[in-house]
Amino acid sequence: SEVDLEGHFERTVAKDQRIEPRDWMPEGYRATMIRQIAQHAHSEIIGMQPEGNWITRAPSLRRKAILLAKVQDEAGHGLYLYSAAETLGADRPDLTERLISGRQKYSSIFNYPTLSFADVGVIGWLVDGAAICNQVPLCRSSYGPYARAMIRICKEESFHQRQGFELLMTMMKGTTAQREMVRDAVNRFWWPSLMMFGPPDADSPNTARSMAWRIKRHTNDELRQRFVDMTVPQAEALGVTLPDPDLKWNAARGHYDFGAIDWTELKRVISGEGPCNAQRVAHRRRAHEDGAWVREAAAAYAAKHEGAVRD
């Protein structure tokens, strides 16, 4: 009965065991998982654009090879995640349609422009650093296919974070102009990186339910604090100043205090009014339309092959 099924679901979650695709789950759980996984997949795919912007202009063959591999990894992450969403009954073409029609979200961070090559380093260091902070706990998320996808994604993200740090370290040891590029990139990306964790807990409609279902393992504010605490010493090692005069160690709390975040900016960017939203979605739409002949050819081939097998 429904009661037994619900009880079994609740006990599985409470024991920290995984919910698998064929298990019974409340419709709200399924809808929340599809929402989060789809947004996450879209973020990986849209996230290819800001860095992809620099592939043809990378300053050396080595940097170009690294950047190509990294952007390709992001495509791979998107593909695992779309597959995880499909295990919940989501339809892949429908998810793409929702992205390119602006009906489904992706991370706010990818709506900012990449103005110099230092941005590639800062995205690796701060943006991928924030992504790791958010995603490592998701390896223990209650939905099996999502949690397992997250293990490989986090390993690759850690590698991306290191490459960003190494790039910045190299630039910081370079010329005054290079150090200035790093400073400018850090200034532009610091606050948007803190916004990646989502609205403050008091203003986060989904957190309580997702925590109870053990989809999320920490709140938005907890993870944001963890990110600040981990990043400040890294900034010191790099020799860069984070653009927040209120950033200081609070011995009583055992954490860094930091300044007020401009939540109206996050709201604006999420609602489509960020500096690059229109460009990002238009680019994705164009790529999808340009790929129509590949999908048609694959479908024609499959139909022909099916006919041949039947004959």
Per the rule left: phi > 0, alpha: psi between -120 and 50, beta: everything else, 198 is left
Q: Which of 21, 77, 11, 68 is nearest to 46 (CA)?
A: 77
- From the list 133, 195, 232, 276, which residue makes contact with ligand ACO (rule: CB under 6 A)? 195
Least CB distance to ligand ACO at residue 41 (A): 8
Encoded amino acid at 305, one letter = H
Q: Which of 163, 139, 164 is nearest to 152 (CA)?
A: 139
Residues in the chain, total: 311
Least CB distance to ligand ACO at residue 53 (A): 16
- Interaction residues for ligand ACO, span 6-35 (CB under 6 A): 35
47 binds ligand ACO (CB under 6 A): yes
For residue 19, the 8-state DSSP code is B
Stretch that binds ligand ACO, among 1-9, 20-28, 112-120, 192-200 (CB under 6 A): 192-200
Site string for ligand ACO, 66-105 (x = CB under 6 A): ---------------------------------------x
108 binds ligand ACO (CB under 6 A): yes
> Helix H segments across the chain?
2-14, 27-46, 48-52, 61-86, 92-100, 118-122, 128-135, 144-172, 176-195, 207-212, 220-238, 263-268, 277-290, 292-310
- From the list 96, 134, 225, 277, which residue makes contact with ligand ACO (rule: CB under 6 A)? 134
Least CB distance to ligand ACO at residue 246 (A): 21
148 binds ligand ACO (CB under 6 A): no
39 binds ligand ACO (CB under 6 A): yes
- From the list 49, 107, 142, 231, which residue makes contact with ligand ACO (rule: CB under 6 A)? 107
How far apart, in whole angstroms, are the C-alpha atoms of residue 250 and residue 25?
Answer: 43
168 binds ligand ACO (CB under 6 A): no
Encoded amino acid at 108, one letter = S
How far apart, in whole angstroms, are the C-alpha atoms of residue 172 and residue 58?
Answer: 17
274 binds ligand ACO (CB under 6 A): no
Interface residues toward ligand ACO, by CB under 6 A? 35-36, 39-40, 43-44, 47, 105, 107-108, 131, 134, 195-199, 204-207, 210, 216, 220, 270
